[in-house]
C-alpha cells in the first residue's frame, strides 16, 4: 500500500492501461475485461484488475497533468511491480494532417515542464516511450487494421494560457510537435528512471486548426479503437 493506493501487492497486474479519468477506467474495465475487481478507491482514483483474452490487466486513472500521473505511475512501477503502462488519453491537434479522432502513438514527448529536472536533475526537454512496447503496439494495430499516426507530442503543464492564441504554431514548427496533451513527459521519465516501459496512445479530441463538429458516436468509435489496440498489445 502507498499513500495514494490501497491495492494489495498482487492486486495489480504487470500490464496497466491508464486513462486520465478514473470513471473512464471503470468503463474500460466493465466493457472490455472479464472477472473484474476494484482494487483502489483512494481519492476516487479507481483501479480495476481483470482479464482480457485470459491475460491479467489493470486499468487505473492517472488524473490530469504531470504531478498526478507522476505519483500514480511511480508507485505502480516502484511498489507494485508493474512493468508496462500504456497511457490511453486524448490530445488537441496542432496540425491539419491530424484530424479529429485519429489515433496517435507517441514517438517522443517535448515539454517545458520542470518535472524531470526536479525528479532527478535531468535537463532534457524530450522524453521517449519504450521502443519495444511501441513496436508491440504497432503490431497489434496492424493486426486489427487500425491506422496509427506516429507523432511527437507537446506535453504541457498549462491548459488555459494567456499567451498568444497562435503560440501553438511556434511549438509545432520549432519543436515538431503535432498535438498537445499533459501527461506523457512525466510517464516516460518515470519509466526510464525505474527501468520500466511506457507508451502513450491518444485520440484527437480537439483541433487548434479547425472548428469541425463531431458526434458522440464518432467519439465512442475512436475511443474503442484505441482501447482495442492497447489491450491487444498485451495479448501476445
Ligand atoms: N488534451 C486534449 N485536448 C487538449 C488540449 N487542447 N490541451 C491539452 N491537453 C489536451
> Counting runs of H as helices and runs of E as strands, what totals does the chain give?
7, 10
Cell of 160: 488555459
Instruction: Give the per-residue pLDDT at 20.
Output: 96
Instruction: Give the per-residue pLDDT at 34.
Output: 98
The predicted-structure confidence for 61-104, as pLDDT tens digits, reads as follows 999 999 999 999 999 999 999 999 999 999 999 999 999 999 99
Q: Is 91 in the pocket of ligand 1 (CB under 6 A)?
A: yes
177 pLDDT band (50/70/90 cuts)? very high
Ligand 1 centroid distance, CA of 218 (Å)? 18
Rounded distance between C-alpha atoms, residue 25 and residue 28, angstroms: 5
Hey, whose CA ends up nearest to atom 8 of ligand 1?
Answer: 181
Residue 206 annotated among the catalytic residues of the structure = yes
Q: Is 202 in the pocket of ligand 1 (CB under 6 A)?
A: no
Instruction: Give the per-residue pLDDT at 221.
Output: 87
Map out the domains of the chain as residue ranges: 15-233
Rounded distance between C-alpha atoms, residue 192 and residue 198, angstroms: 8
Instruction: Give the per-residue pLDDT at 130.
Output: 98
Rounded distance between C-alpha atoms, residue 127 and residue 94, angstroms: 19
Domain 15-233: top CATH class: alpha beta
Q: Say if residues 125 and 111 touch (Cβ distance below 8 Å).
A: yes
**Average confidence (pLDDT) over 163-178:** 91
Instruction: Give the per-residue pLDDT at 220.
Output: 85
Hey, whose CA ends up nearest to atom 9 of ligand 1?
Answer: 181
3-state secondary structure of 149: strand
Rounded distance between C-alpha atoms, residue 58 and residue 73, angstroms: 12
pLDDT for residue 202 is more than 80: yes
Q: Distances in Å between the alpha carbon of 18 and those of 15, 40, 41, 152, 189? A: 10, 13, 15, 19, 16
Neighbouring residues of 224: CB distance < 8 A, sequence distance ≥ 6: none
- The backbone torsions φ and ψ at residue 43, rounded to the nearest 5 degrees and listed phi first, read 55, 25
**Average confidence (pLDDT) over 24-53:** 97
Torsion sign, CA atoms 100, 177, 167, 18: positive
pLDDT for residue 233 is more than 80: yes
Best residue for ligand 1 mutational test, from 182, 201, 208, 211 (most atoms within 8 Å of Cβ):
182
Amino acid at each position: 500500500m502507498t499513500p495514494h493506493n490501497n491495492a494489495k501487492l498482487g492486486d495489480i497486474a504487470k500490464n496497466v492501461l491508464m486513462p486520465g479519468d478514473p470513471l473512464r477506467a471503470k468503463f474500460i474495465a466493465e466493457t472490455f475485461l472479464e472477472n473484474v475487481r476494484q482494487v483502489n478507491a483512494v481519492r476516487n482514483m479507481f483501479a480495476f484488475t481483470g482479464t482480457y483474452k485470459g491475460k491479467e490487466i489493470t486499468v487505473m486513472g492517472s488524473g490530469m497533468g504531470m504531478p498526478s500521473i507522476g505519483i500514480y505511475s511511480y508507485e505502480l512501477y516502484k511498489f507494485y511491480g508493474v512493468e508496462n503502462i500504456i497511457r490511453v488519453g486524448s490530445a488537441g491537434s496542432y496540425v491539419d494532417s491530424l484530424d479529429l479522432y485519429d489515433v496517435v502513438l507517441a514517438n517522443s514527448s517535448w515539454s517545458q515542464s520542470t518535472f524531470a529536472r526536479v525528479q532527478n536533475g535531468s535537463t532534457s526537454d524530450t522524453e521517449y516511450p519504450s521502443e519495444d512496447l511501441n513496436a508491440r503496439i504497432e503490431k497489434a494495430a496492424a493486426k486489427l487494421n487500425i491506422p496509427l499516426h506516429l507523432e511527437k507530442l507537446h506535453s504541457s503543464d498549462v491548459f488555459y494560457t494567456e499567451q498568444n492564441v497562435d503560440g501553438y504554431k511556434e511549438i509545432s514548427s520549432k519543436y515538431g510537435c503535432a498535438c498537445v496533451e499533459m501527461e506523457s513527459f512525466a510517464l516516460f521519465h518515470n519509466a526510464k528512471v525505474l527501468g520500466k516501459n511506457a507508451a502513450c496512445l491518444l485520440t484527437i479530441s480537439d483541433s487548434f486548426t479547425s472548428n469541425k463538429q463531431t458526434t458522440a458516436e464518432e467519439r465512442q468509435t475512436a475511443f474503442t479503437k484505441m482501447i482495442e489496440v492497447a489491450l491487444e498489445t498485451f495479448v501476445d
